[in-house]
Amino acid sequence: MTYRAGWIHYTNVAPILDSLTLPAGVTAITGVPTQMNAALLSGEVDIANISAVEFIRHADVLEALPDFSVAVLGPVYSVNLFHTVPLERMRRVALTRQSAMSVALLEVLLAARGLSPTLERAEGEAEDLLASGYDGVLRIGDSALREWYRVAGPLTPETTMTMLPHEGRGITVTDLAEEWFRLTGHPFVFAVWAYRRDNPPPPALVQAMREARRHGIGHLADVAARHARKLGLPERVVQHYLWNFRYHLEAPDRLGLHEFAAQAVPGHAPLRFGPQPGGERRHVLSASADTLKP
């Protein structure tokens, strides 16, 4: 029987997906987060890198791979609120239809500041929507990355590579992952690789994903160069964008995920993850470390 994957194919997943060879018996489709979230829940696909908030909302039926994430500690550059007035003065904010996660995150961040602007779904370029009367525009993914650079670029040789600029052209870009870090001190997990608990992925697929990720992270400059051309952005910018991601759902990422879950979806079912890889090898390592004790 065929196992069907649904990939959100934003540039931030390129270090995993670009060199992924699907094993026999696995097929894949691609789409934006809201499409892949729905495809997984309706059963159209069997595994997808879905918005973490959908994983949390459906924790009663879903499980996630224990070592895959799209996460950052600090700014992400592609989940952006573009605004022309201070956050406190925003009255109408346009939301993207592509994203579940960023909307839930924005709601948490606004609530933390005691703010409640009107939130409406509206598509289009951030600058056009701001010109048409919105005070804020939420955008994600590749178009948000491009629009951030249009506002805050071009980078000068002196621009620090640890924190890129966030304003220009009369527009401030509030990076939601950076705001989350300021609020909690935790990483923010945007996506996990989830599947229905009664239908886990074949081990060959997970193995292929781990190999593809190892290859992608090992050749990040090549991945960045390829995607910089597609995005029409400088290689240096895309390289910075990509090396900033945390793809392994490590302990700090899980802390961030649990903190977000508690704030955004109170009363959610316990989050479940599949078995950790390489358990045996770790056991052997700790045994040999024991033998080194004096």
Ligand X SMILES: C=C(O[C@@H]1C=C(C(=O)O)C=C[C@H]1O)C(=O)O
- For 241-270, letters b (16+ CB in 10 Å) and e give bbebbbbebeeebbebbebbbebbbeebee
Quick check: 231 binds ligand X (CB under 6 A)? no
Quick check: 100 binds ligand X (CB under 6 A)? yes
Quick check: 191 binds ligand X (CB under 6 A)? yes
Say whether the peptide bond before residue 294 is cis (omega within 30 degrees of 0). no
Quick check: 264 binds ligand X (CB under 6 A)? no
Q: Contact letters (x/-) for ligand X, 118-157, by CB under 6 A?
A: ----------------------xx--x-------------
Quick check: 242 binds ligand X (CB under 6 A)? no
Distance from C-alpha of 132 to C-alpha of 129, rounded to nearest angstrom: 5
Nearest to 117 by CA among 143, 138, 146, 87: 87
* Beta pairing partners, 92: 118
- Cβ-based nearer residue to ligand X, 17 or 208: 17
**Which window, 20-28, 97-105, 125-133, 269-277, contacts ligand X (CB under 6 A)?**
97-105
Q: Which of 99, 174, 244, 263 binds ligand X (CB under 6 A)?
A: 99
CA-to-CA dists, residue 39 to 34, 116, 139, 142, 248, angstroms = 9, 31, 22, 21, 24
Nearest 5 degrees, angle CA 139-CA 140-CA 144? 70
- Cβ-based nearer residue to ligand X, 191 or 237: 191
Quick check: 12 binds ligand X (CB under 6 A)? yes
Q: Which positions touch ligand X (CB under 6 A)?
A: 8, 10, 12-13, 33, 51, 70, 76, 78-79, 99-102, 140-141, 144, 190-191
